[in-house]
Amino acid sequence: MSEDRRLDVLRAIVSEYVHTREPVGSKVIAAGHDLGVSSATIRNDMALLEEAGLIYQPHTSAGRVPTDRGYRLFVDHLTTLKPMSAPERRAVEAFLARGVDLDDVVTGTVRLLAQVTRQVAVIEYPTLHSATLRRIELVDLTPRRLLVVVITSAGSVEERIVDLDLPVDTEDVERLRVRVNEECEGLDSQAAAERLNALVDEADPATDAALACMTQAVAQITEDLLRPSSESRMVVAGLSNIARSNVDFRDITPVLDALEEKVALLRLFQELALDDSIHVSIGSENQHDGLAQTSVVASTYGAADGSRAHLGIVGPTRMDYARAMSSVRAVAAYLSRYLNH
């Protein structure tokens, strides 16, 4: 029973410290948390928690604050997560409903996550190795200039302008657009490239040189745009939030450097599993020195075709973990739903 009570005392210390940033004393816990024991009993429990390395006293005659180990035990024993408020859920749903393409959704969502959590938000672009071709659009800007737009199943929209050696008319452009979509819709990058090259071989330069020229150009550009990139891309928002938390850091400079370089975040994300669970790394658990004063809450989003990536938040170890974990999980679920539709 005393073990459960000491955990309740730790929860109370974390809760009070997160909201006040003031060391927490036994009288505050006794008055604000219905533990059913006296201040003296709470002081004894706090002494045991301190011996276990879960809390510490920052200076003489002060209350106690959680250590990284204390936060870890608190997070591991979280039984409920604070749900996002109804206005926050509506804001996320409304924003994603207005999304035009993957870039638009990712950049907007990372800003929204930063606003909701009041922390630095980070979103990694999904890997597109398993993405398939959803649609190709061709727009004749001039008789010799063509806009090629490639849309993948993961919601990625890539475009490129190509200059043609011979002029083409609008009817030829529309005919090729329809044929390419009929032949290549739903194919992955390799299969689409093979089918597009077959279309090039079928074109007869002797009877219609302009159409053959356009087909070859479209095939090459589509293959290039659909080819998956091995580079990881990441978007960060809310750096001002971490600056406002300056009082929570001994030295904020390494933190800002790590966030600006993004290398530490990419490495951390690469170490996480691509599943739907919530991952929390606290303080010294983060291997990069620049993140050793922070906590990272991360999850995974993705599409049914296998395109997966991480998103999360970075903030001081003194954060509302229940709310942070709930917000990250909810935004990941909303983003996955968008990609699947």
What are the tokens at 151? 């849309």
Q: What is the pLDDT of residue 78?
A: 83
Which residue, among 47, 63, 51, has the nearest Cα to 13 in the 3D structure?
Answer: 63
Measured between alpha carbons, how far is 162 from 225 in angstroms, rounded to an integer? 13
Taking each helix axis from N to C end, the angle separating 102-117 and 321-340, rounded to the nearest 10 degrees, works out to 160
Q: Which segments of the chain have a pLDDT < 70?
A: 1, 99-100, 127-131, 154-155, 206-207, 225-232, 274, 303-306, 341
Measured between alpha carbons, how far is 35 from 43 in angstroms, rounded to an integer? 13
Q: What is the pLDDT of residue 1?
A: 45
The alpha carbon of residue 339 and the mean position of all alpha carbons in its chain are separated, in whole angstroms, by 13
Type of residue found at 282: I
Q: What is the pLDDT of residue 72?
A: 94
Q: What is the pLDDT of residue 223?
A: 75
Measured between alpha carbons, how far is 141 from 84 in angstroms, rounded to an integer? 46
Q: Which domains are seen in the chain, by residue range?
A: 2-76 (1.10.10.10), 86-129+232-340 (3.30.450.40), 133-226 (3.30.390.60)
Q: What is the pLDDT of residue 341?
A: 67
Three-state DSSP class for residue 57 = coil
Three-state DSSP class for residue 8 = helix
Expressed in angstroms, the distance from the first to the final Cα of the chain is 50
